[in-house]
A and B are shown apart, each in its own frame.
Chain A
Amino acid sequence: MKKMTKKKIIQGIGFFALRAAMALVLAVLLLFLYDIGKKGGGALSWEFLSQAPRKGMTEGGIFPAIFGTFLVTLITAILAVPLGMGAAIYLHEYARQTRVTRLIRLSIRNLSGVPSIVYGLFGVILFVNILRFGTSILSAGLTLGLMTLPWTITASEEALKTVPDSYREGALALGATKWQSIRTNVLPYAVPGMLTGTVLGLARAAGETAPIMFTGAAFYLPYLPKSLGDQFMALPYHLYIMATQHHAIQQVRPLAYGTALVLIALILGLNMTAVVIRYRLRRKRR
């Protein structure tokens, strides 16, 4: 009887600790969103979203930065999604599991932990200098793409792992080729997970500053990028400038908070897209 109570007390303490941890995380997050919402909410208006900055970026909106971030993320996706999924399919379905594949996998995991500034510097060397793409939206997009690849590959491989082997064997036993079994019996069930991981990786890329600031992002541009060779403005970099580099920091503080709010909303939107995609595709399978 006495032992029973002791066990229950220990359980109570355990649950309390777990609840407290959860509550603490949630509180910090809410406080953070509340603070940015309060300070940046005032700056939000249709004009803020649709106009270019004016008067040395002390007035006007952030449309060029929204547009630039959208475009550079698109280039990132074009590089990282097909390559990442392809590499994952090869690694998980085709490659023989040898020491070399294990080493490759380990390297990919490590690459996903490399600081983004390192990718930025690498991008300057490879895309800007060696390949002569210049400081451009192309160089920046490719740099972000490289940074996102390890995430896409890892997420896609994890998604492939969740497909039971019996689906593969069942197809092979009916006379399917390996590719047929993958295409009809593995990919349909792995794609929702692959897309989720990929979109999360893209959301991370969209919010990065370091990889783009040497490779293509501009302090201020009076025009929108018209070709892949143009420079561009981007939300995270714009925020960085407004918060630390501007000549009238105090004056533009509300604009900085407004930019932060838009950036967070954008990333939240991307993440929600991932959830919706997964939900829709899963429901279609049922």
Chain B
Amino acid sequence: MSVETGIAKIETKDLDFYYGTSRALKRVSISCHRNRVTAIIGPSGCGKSTFIRTLNRMNDVIPGTRIEGTILLDGKDVHAPDVDVVELRRRVGMVFQKPNPFPKSIFDNTAYGLRINGMKNKKELEEVVEKSLRGAALWDEVKDRLDENAFALSGGQQQRLCIARALAVEPEVILFDEPCSAIDPIATAKVEDLIETLKTRYTVVIVTHNMQQAARVSDFTAFMMLGELVELDVTEKIFTNPASKLTEDYITGRFG
């Protein structure tokens, strides 16, 4: 389903996903556009996290899973045999539910993606690290202690560090998998502001169980239930005048 016209940055067509024999996604078709934030909402277990993890093929690492249907990045099938999954994941960055900094220094965390891609020049590394930390609105808080272990940061700072780490490799799409579910409201507000600014440069997809959050940050909202896409529309319309009775029941808090 697509609301906006024009070519989607990343889109799925009739996506099915199985964990063993249990079907987690049923013919899900969602388009996400450049410079837009697309939020995926729905009750726990509706498949929203599974969905977002298919977009950078993170589910590949889970044994016993199977995928059917198509995922197109710039119109090209991400499962095509000539697609390098490593390169795909560099282009489609991901921020996880729980902040997962590596047990390294703040600098090394931010530079991780650059180093594995072969950047060695210290000056260059320093430049990109600063740019990425600024991009994640973290620079002012950590500029004097880049050599400290990332675990010394607060949960919200850790999550912004993970965002900085993702920005450093210059992705085109950034996936957020419930990025605020493990951090406090003030930190959440910071991450939300950040998402707002990120959309000027990237395609952003965010999974959230927090409906207010979806309403605040997204341009489009997709409502999923039991592995199916119920409705995808302009966020304002979803929250004021949804087409489906199910969506209305969910956003008004009648279940979920």
Hey, which bits of chain A sit against chain B, CB under 8 A?
Answer: 96-97, 164, 166-177, 180, 184-185, 189, 285-286
Q: Which B residues lie at the A interface, using CB under 8 A?
A: 56, 58, 61, 63, 86-87, 89-90, 93-94, 96, 98, 100-103, 112-113, 115-117, 149, 162, 165-166, 169
Contact call A171/B116, Cβ cutoff below 8 A: yes
List chain A residues, Cβ under 8 A from B102.
167, 170-171, 185
Taking a contact as CB atoms under 8 Å apart, the answer to whether B149 and A170 are in contact is: no
**Contact at A175–B103, with CB atoms within 8 Å?**
no
Task: Enumerate chain A residues within 8 angstroms of B101, measured Cβ to Cβ.
Answer: 170
| Cβ-defined partner of A172 (8 Å) among B89, B115, B169 | B89
Q: In the complex, which residue of chain A has the Cβ closest to the Cβ of B109?
A: A170
Q: Do residues B58 and A170 form an inter-chain contact, with CB atoms below 8 A?
A: no
Question: Once the chains bind, are A175 and B61 in contact (CB under 8 Å)?
Answer: no
CB atoms of A184 and B89 under 8 A apart: no
Distance (Å) between the CB of A17 and the closest chain B CB?
39
Q: Which residue from B63, B116, B149, B162 sits with its C-beta under 8 Å from A175?
A: B116
CB distance from B25 to the nearest CB of A (A): 20
Interface pair B112/A171, CB less than 8 Å apart: yes
Q: Roughly how many angstroms separate A177 CA and B88 CA in the complex, as a whole number? A: 11
A175/B58 in contact, CB under 8 A: no
One of A96, A166, A173, A185 near B89 (C-beta < 8 A): A173
Chain A contact residues: over half helix, strand or loop, or mixed?
helix
B103 touches A173 (CB 8 A): no
Nearest chain A CB to B68's CB is how many angstroms away?
21
Top 7 nearest A-B pairs (CB, nearest first) are A175-B90, A166-B100, A174-B113, A173-B94, A176-B116, A170-B100, A175-B89
A174 to B103, CA, bound (A): 16
| Complexed CA–CA distance, A278 and B117 (Å) | 30
A175 touches B113 (CB 8 A): yes
Which residues of chain B have C-beta atoms less than 8 A from A169's C-beta? 58, 61, 96, 100
Docked-complex contact B56 and A173, CB < 8 angstroms: yes
A167, A174, A189, A285: residue with the most chain B Cβ atoms closer than 10 Å: A174
A-side contacts of B166, CB under 8 Å? 173-174
Given contacts A169-B61, A174-B90, A174-B165, contact A184 B116 (CB under 8 A): yes
Are A175 and B100 in contact, with the CB atoms below 8 A? no
Contacts of B115 in A (CB 8 A): 184
Cβ A180 vs Cβ B116 within 8 A? yes
Q: Report yes or no: B103 in contact with A189, Cβ–Cβ below 8 A.
A: yes
Q: Which residues of B contact A175 (CB under 8 A)?
A: 86-87, 89-90, 113, 116-117, 169
Determine if A174 and B169 form an interchain contact, defined as CB atoms under 8 angstroms apart: yes
- Asked if residues B89 and A174 are in contact (CB atoms below 8 Å), the reply is yes
Say yes or no: A174-B100 contact (C-beta < 8 A), given A96-B63, A169-B58: no
Contacts of A97 in B (CB 8 A): 63
| B94 surroundings in chain A (CB, below 8 A) | 173
Shortest CB-to-CB span from A253 to chain B, Å, is 53
Give the CA-CA distance A78 to B125 in the complex, in Å.
39
Q: Which residues of B contact A173 (CB under 8 A)?
A: 56, 58, 89, 93-94, 96, 166
A104 to chain B, nearest CB (A): 16
Chain B hits for A185, CB < 8 A? 102
Query: A180 CA to B102 CA in the complex, in Å?
Result: 14
Complex alpha-carbon distance, A119 and B113, angstroms: 47
A63 to B90, CA, bound (A): 59
The residues of A that contact B117 with a CB separation of less than 8 Å are: 175
Is B112 a contact of A174 with CB atoms below 8 Å?
A: yes
> What are 12 A-B contacts with C-beta separation under 8 Å?
A167-B102, A167-B103, A169-B61, A170-B101, A170-B102, A171-B112, A173-B89, A174-B112, A174-B166, A175-B117, A176-B86, A176-B116
Q: Contacts A173-B89, A174-B112, A175-B87 given; indicate if A167 touches B100 (C-beta within 8 A).
A: yes
Q: In the complex, which residue of chain A has the Cβ closest to the Cβ of B99? A: A166
Closest chain A CB from B237 CB (angstroms): 32
- Closest A residue to B97 by beta carbon equals A166
Q: How far is the CA of A174 from the CA of B165 in the complex (A)?
A: 8
Q: How far is the CA of A175 from the CA of B101 in the complex (A)?
A: 16
